[in-house]
Amino acid sequence: MEFLSLRKSFTGLVLLFCLSSLSSPAGSDDVFAIGTMKIPPGEMRSGYLPVPEKDGIRTSVPFTVIHGSRKGKVLALVAGVHGYEYPPILALYRLRKMINPDSLAGTLIMIHVANLPAFQKRIIYYNPYDWKNLNRVFPGDPQGTISQRIAYVLKEEVIKKCDYLIDLHCGDGNEALIPYAYWMIKGDQEIDKVSKEMLLAFGLKYIIIDKTRSKDISHSKYLGNTAILLSKPAITTESGYLGKTDEISIVRNVKGILNVMKLFKMIEGEAEFIPEPVWIEPYEVIYSNHDGLFYPLTKMGYHVAKGEKVGYITDYLGEVKEEVRAPFSGIILYIVYTPPISQGEPLFEVGKAKPLSK
Ligand SMILES: [Zn+2]
């Protein structure tokens, strides 16, 4: 029921786009270049960014650029950095049909599936050719493995060409996850302020205050962090879970993106900000010390007390090898909810809600 009414209101929004008059028209020579493509104002184009071949392995990155007929900001939307995270991917295909370039101010870059090999092979976390996590290898390397080369292409063709970036994630195929987002703190007042506004506009209730990311661009690791270190305000969002394609998670992504577009005056309408965000600090990911099977004893969104048993791990013969406990009292942001577990992989993430959430 909830999503049906939301869909109706989106239809209304699409009509509104056609009526908008938001900023001055772009000049006819104001082309937007990406890869080998040059896109004039008022046009939408889709294609593939090639990721160069090495050792017989290559891929490409499917994208759409909607270059508005009016001048404005460039917002990059990246889905599918993890290939088993479907709601953001589906949200961008939906958004692609909703935005009219004639009434758009600025430019949208949509990366539909950043990690195409992982999507094709239905692999969580990793790329099946190098078994690296794309969201741990930024800023990438043009001479590196396939994940490093994808990261490099995304840095050159997406991050460097945008003003703002949203890295759209969700619970991976094995992760039960409540919607939340990361506010990656750079320590630059203006960039942190804009990133915060993007988070409040995107509208996910739980927001992790994350001061842990490297400030060294050569070890930026994450797509969003790389954008921030290149002075592009950016957020990482999580909406969706366990490999599902549920409508509510898809709509939450679409709605969040449209509201960020309003924030940057790309489409008509006033951005709405989430009235009562819950700020999370600190947070911690707990990793497995064993290979085997994980048995969770709590659920996503549940509160756990410090020391509470959150789950246990058995070996492949059914013998308990490890009991897993909460390092501090907090909320379960995600928890692995399928049996396989390997040493060094995440089991769950817990975060402490800060009082006075403003
Ligand atoms: Zn992800």
Is the model's pLDDT at 12 over the cut of 50? no
From the CA of 76, how far away is ligand 1's center (Å)? Answer: 17
From the CA of 168, how far away is ligand 1's center (Å)? Answer: 8
Percent of the chain with pLDDT over 70: 93
From the CA of 114, how far away is ligand 1's center (Å)? Answer: 11
Q: Could you report the per-residue pLDDT of 50-70, keeping only the tens digit for each? A: 999 999 999 999 999 999 999
From the CA of 245, how far away is ligand 1's center (Å)? Answer: 15
From the CA of 133, how far away is ligand 1's center (Å)? Answer: 9
From the CA of 82, how far away is ligand 1's center (Å)? Answer: 5
From the CA of 261, how far away is ligand 1's center (Å)? Answer: 22
From the CA of 175, how far away is ligand 1's center (Å)? Answer: 10
**Under 8 Å between Cβ of 170 and 246:** no
From the CA of 242, how far away is ligand 1's center (Å)? Answer: 11
Q: Could you report the per-residue pLDDT of 245-278, keeping only the tens digit for each? A: 999 999 999 999 999 999 999 999 999 999 999 9
